[in-house]
């Protein structure tokens, strides 16, 4: 497998700068998520690594080889698209083996490797079916098997689970992680789903306007965002009004200019919790969602969100005065932009 190094890559489409001096490293064998809003450059970066786009400047290395001017078919990568792109007139086994036939792998070796790939994705009994006879999750597994059967150096996934319903998507997240660990292939995937990025990846890169905002392990990026955009994009954040900062215990962080609290770190009650930071507001809504519930609390005209188990939230009527409490250690300090 291989490490991928992107160095000072810039890419224009007409007058629009899709990638702006991007430098990032994807570790050998790691599972890396690229996350950002629409138009942030995450898909362009993935497709530039794949070879569908050539950068205007900068370099891309896969292992020790520079590939920024190498065609996609010679980069030794596997790629899985949102729509799976399976051949409807071929069996599952023939779909998986297509890349091997293109590479002129012998028939016996093709059968062996296809059988291995089918077992890896737990579809060993479905090799002779057509894609139309499979469920969405099964088609997703076939596409993944086809991407890895050629034993590529890098696996690239473009929103691979977006077409699945929520329950199946969660199941496939766990399955995709299992397969990636078993194969040990360097994997880079694009997603717009923050929870998916946190669940699957070893490291996350957040992009905005074609630039890298922050890179790091999921917990680090979530708990120590480098700016307000990173704090608000990866998860939700309640921002402390400057007028409410006095008297609170806040973390010391160089350059910190604003402070936020995640919704799940808060408790809501009619009195402040002892020994914790607390601010007073007014209950606006209590939304029941099964085991979990969401409360909206009016703090000086801004609505703070509280997420907790429904049984842990007292029944408080809208309009009533409430206290939001949280541990000082759960306060996020965000640096002021330079």
CATH number, domain with residue 201:
3.40.50.300
Range of the domain at 18: 4-229
Alpha carbon distance 199, 112 (integer Å): 32
249 with 222, same domain: the answer is no
253 with 187, same domain: the answer is no
218 with 244, same domain: the answer is no
Single residue among 183, 207, 229 that ends a domain in this structure: 229
Mean pLDDT value across the chain: 92
215 with 241, same domain: the answer is no
Whether 96 has a pLDDT exceeding 70, the answer reads yes
Alpha carbon distance 215, 227 (integer Å): 12
330 with 191, same domain: the answer is no
> Residue 1's pLDDT is what?
54
pTM of the predicted model over 0.85: yes
174 with 244, same domain: the answer is no
Single residue among 210, 229, 248 that ends a domain in this structure: 229
Single residue among 229, 247, 271 that ends a domain in this structure: 229
Q: What is the radius of gyration, based on Cα positions, of the chain? A: 24
> What is the separation of C-alpha 318 from the centre of its chain, rounded to a whole number of angstroms?
36
Alpha carbon distance 286, 294 (integer Å): 6
Alpha carbon distance 28, 337 (integer Å): 33
**Lowest-confidence range among 20-24, 42-46, 207-211, 241-245?**
241-245
- Sign, CA dihedral 124-129-132-133, equals negative
219 with 303, same domain: the answer is no
- Averaged over 93-121, what is the pLDDT? 93
- Averaged over 331-337, what is the pLDDT? 84
Tell the burial category of 116 from Cβ atoms under 10 Å away from its Cβ (0-12, 13-18, 19+).
middle
Whether 195 has a pLDDT exceeding 90, the answer reads no
The first and second tokens of residue 252, run together, are: 């010391």
248 with 330, same domain: the answer is yes
> Residue 140's pLDDT is what?
87
| Domain harbouring 324, CATH code | 2.40.50.100
Q: Give residue-wise pLDDT tens across range 232-279.
A: 999 899 999 989 998 999 887 766 789 999 999 999 999 999 999 999
Alpha carbon distance 146, 87 (integer Å): 11
- Averaged over 153-178, what is the pLDDT? 84
223 with 287, same domain: the answer is no
The first and second tokens of residue 99, run together, are: 């890349």
Alpha carbon distance 327, 265 (integer Å): 8
Residue 107, CB-side half-sphere exposure with 13 Å CA sphere: 0
Whether 29 has a pLDDT exceeding 80, the answer reads yes
Into how many domains does the chain fold? 2
Beta bridge partners of 66: 61
Give the CA distances from residue 129 to residues 26, 126, 157, 215, in Å, rounded to whole numbers and listed in that order.
36, 6, 24, 42
331 with 301, same domain: the answer is yes
176 with 282, same domain: the answer is no
Whether 143 has a pLDDT exceeding 80, the answer reads yes
Alpha carbon distance 30, 154 (integer Å): 10
245 with 275, same domain: the answer is yes
Of all residues in the chain, the percent with pLDDT exceeding 70 is 99
Confidence of residue 126 (pLDDT cuts 50, 70, 90): very high
Alpha carbon distance 57, 11 (integer Å): 7
């Amino acid at each position: 497998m291989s490490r991928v190094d992107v160095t000072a890559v810039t890419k224009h489409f007409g007058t629009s700068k899709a990638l702006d001096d991007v430098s990032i490293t994807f570790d050998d064998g790691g599972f890396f998520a690229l996350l950002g809003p629409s138009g942030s450059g995450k898909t362009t970066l993935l497709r530039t690594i794949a070879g569908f786009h050539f950068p205007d400047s900068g370099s891309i290395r896969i292992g020790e080889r520079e590939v920024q001017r190498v065609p996609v078919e010679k980069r030794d990568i596997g790629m899985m698209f949102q729509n799976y792109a399976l051949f409807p007139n071929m069996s599952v086994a023939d779909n998986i083996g297509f890349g091997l036939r293109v590479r002129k792998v012998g028939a016996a070796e093709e059968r062996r490797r296809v059988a291995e790939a089918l077992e890896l994705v737990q579809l060993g009994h479905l090799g002779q079916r057509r894609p139309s006879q499979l469920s969405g999750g099964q088609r997703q597994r076939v596409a993944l098997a086809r991407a890895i059967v050629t034993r590529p150096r890098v696996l690239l996934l473009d929103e691979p689970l977006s077409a699945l319903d929520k329950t199946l998507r969660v199941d496939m997240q766990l399955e995709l992680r299992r397969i990636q660990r078993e194969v040990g292939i360097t994997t880079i995937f694009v997603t717009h789903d923050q929870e998916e990025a946190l669940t699957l990846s070893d490291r996350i890169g957040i992009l905005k306007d074609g630039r890298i905002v922050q890179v790091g392990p999921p917990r680090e990026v979530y708990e120590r965002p480098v700016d307000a955009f990173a704090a608000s994009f990866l998860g939700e954040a309640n921002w402390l009004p400057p007028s409410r900062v006095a008297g609170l215990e806040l973390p010391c962080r160089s350059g910190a200019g604003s402070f936020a609290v995640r919704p799940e770190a808060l408790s809501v009650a009619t009195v402040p919790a002892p020994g914790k930071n607390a601010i007073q507001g007014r209950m606006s809504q209590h939304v029941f969602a099964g085991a979990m519930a969401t409360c909206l609390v009016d703090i000086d005209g801004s609505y703070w969100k509280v997420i907790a188990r429904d049984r842990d939230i007292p029944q408080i009527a809208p309009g009533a005065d409430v206290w939001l409490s949280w541990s000082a250690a759960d306060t996020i300090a965000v640096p002021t932009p330079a």
